């Protein structure tokens, strides 16, 4: 039954309108409403941030592994050598004898033919491309496994943070920079491996920490941890048959490139990888500090000068050992277990490395 109006018409329940008197707000509530910040409205062209999916570093790892398999195919130890390791199991892909190559890999002749860094071929044969090709070759299974695992842990994190457009050129240029310094000092041995590029990534991590210092929490602990990792890796370079000049050249190149490619704005910057869902940046204006611009300019100047000067010295046959009597200790330090000579490092323990 509906209620009747004075005119006699019946009102349905759906026609009833309930009015509620607004509650009187106190002075504190009114003041809070007046001074509260209005909600931010995303700009019309706003798109939610998507975390960068690393793909370049995995491709680099796959390419290195595939190239190593190809090198072993070309090496064909059973056909070209009398002493092979694992011939019954691997067949054509068998390794050279462990006394010749303890890293379980091909012969030096095969590596030299496929693009290893050989100073004579670079200078006299004008094969400057070997500065690039040598970073994609490896001396053995242990060599490629160690480098690719290191690249997996270091490179993935950097590509997630900065993207492939920055990390790709950094990796390649650091590798070439390491090869260039190696060619100036390692004159009588061939050199292969991605270690120079890997040390470039470590150098870039250090410079990125320094240039973006104000953005980090636990700065000192992060710095000490990174310095310890770098020091331990460089210390390995004083062992026999490790090209520490490539490590040093790659590290310095990567450090300078990090000051150029990995800069972050210091004001209003937010790590979007760790931002809550729905977060958007109100201002896209990048704000850098003066010291960042100074580091960028000096780093660019040092990079250009270093590459131009290094290439000029290399093509003119400059020998760094003739002008630095102690520099060879940066790559091999003699101990009771091994001795360092200009031509090779001879190990006096389990194996004799050729």
| Model pLDDT for residues 216-257, shown as the tens digit of each residue | 777 788 888 888 988 888 887 777 678 889 999 999 999 999
What CA–CA distance (Å, rounded) separates 196 from 144? Answer: 13
The DSSP secondary-structure symbol of 345 reads: E
Ranges of the chain whose pLDDT falls below 70: 1-51, 240, 266-286, 337-354
- pLDDT recorded at residue 159: 93
Number of CB atoms found within 10 A of residue 19's CB: 4
Q: What angle do CA 59, 60, 64 make, to 5 degrees?
A: 115
Burial 167-187 (b: 16+ CB within 10 A, else e): beebbebbbbbbbbbbbbbbb
3-state secondary structure string across 253-314: HHHHHHHHHCCCCCCCCCCHHHCCCCCCCCCCCCCCCHHHHHHHHHHHHHHHHHHHHHHHHH
- Catalytic amino acids? 195, 247
What SS3 class is residue 346?
strand
- The model's pTM: 0.77
pLDDT, tens only, 78-111: 998 888 998 889 889 999 998 888 889 999 999 9
- pLDDT recorded at residue 32: 53
What SS3 class is residue 196?
helix
3-state secondary structure string across 58-118: HHHHHHHHHHHHHHHHHHCHHHHCCCEECHHHHHHHCEECCCCCCCCCCCHHHHHHHCCEC
Classify residue 159 by burial, with Cβ atoms within 10 Å: 0-12, 13-18, 19+: buried
- pLDDT recorded at residue 321: 83
Q: Which domains does the chain have, with CATH numbers?
A: 118-347 (1.20.1540)
- pLDDT recorded at residue 343: 42
Using alpha carbons, select from 144, 225, 130 the residue that is nearest to residue 178: 130
pLDDT, tens only, 303-312: 999 999 999 9
What SS3 class is residue 130?
helix
Classify residue 148 by burial, with Cβ atoms within 10 Å: 0-12, 13-18, 19+: buried
């Amino acid at each position: 039954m509906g209620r009747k109006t004075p005119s006699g018409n019946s009102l349905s329940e759906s026609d009833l309108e309930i009015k509620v008197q607004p509650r009187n707000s106190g002075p504190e509530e009114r003041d809070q409403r007046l001074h509260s910040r209005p909600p931010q409205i995303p700009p019309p062209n706003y798109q939610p941030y998507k975390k960068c999916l690393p793909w370049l570093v995995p491709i680099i790892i796959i390419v290195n592994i595939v190239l190593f398999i190809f090198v072993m195919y070309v090496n064909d130890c059973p056909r070209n050598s009398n002493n092979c390791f694992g011939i019954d199991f691997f067949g054509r892909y068998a390794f050279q004898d462990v006394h010749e190559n303890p890293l379980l890999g091909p012969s030096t002749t095969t590596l030299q033919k496929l693009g290893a860094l050989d100073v004579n071929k670079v200078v006299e044969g004008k094969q400057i491309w070997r500065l690039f090709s040598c970073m994609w070759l490896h001396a053995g299974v242990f060599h490629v496994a160690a480098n690719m695992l290191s690249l997996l842990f270091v490179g993935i994190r950097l590509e997630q943070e900065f993207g492939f457009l920055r990390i790709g050129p950094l990796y390649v240029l650091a590798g070439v920079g390491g090869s260039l310094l190696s060619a100036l000092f390692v004159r009588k041995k061939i050199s292969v491996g991605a270690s120079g590029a890997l040390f470039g990534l470590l150098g870039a991590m250090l410079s990125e920490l320094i240039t973006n210092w104000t953005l980090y929490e636990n700065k000192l602990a992060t710095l000490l941890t990174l310095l310890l990792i770098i020091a331990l890796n460089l210390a390995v370079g004083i062992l026999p048959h490790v090209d520490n000049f490539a490590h040093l050249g790659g590290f310095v190149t990567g450090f300078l490139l990090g000051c150029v490619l990995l800069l972050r704005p210091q004001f209003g910057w937010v790590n979007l990888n760790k931002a809550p869902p729905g977060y958007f940046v109100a201002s896209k204006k990048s704000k850098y500090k003066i010291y960042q611009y100074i580091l960028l300019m000096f780093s660019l100047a040092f990079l250009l000068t270093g590459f131009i000067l290094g290439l000029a010295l290399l093509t003119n046959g400059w020998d760094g050992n003739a002008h630095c009597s102690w520099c060879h200790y940066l790559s091999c330090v003699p101990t009771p277990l091994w001795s360092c000579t200009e031509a090779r490092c001879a190990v006096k323990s389990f194996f004799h490395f050729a």
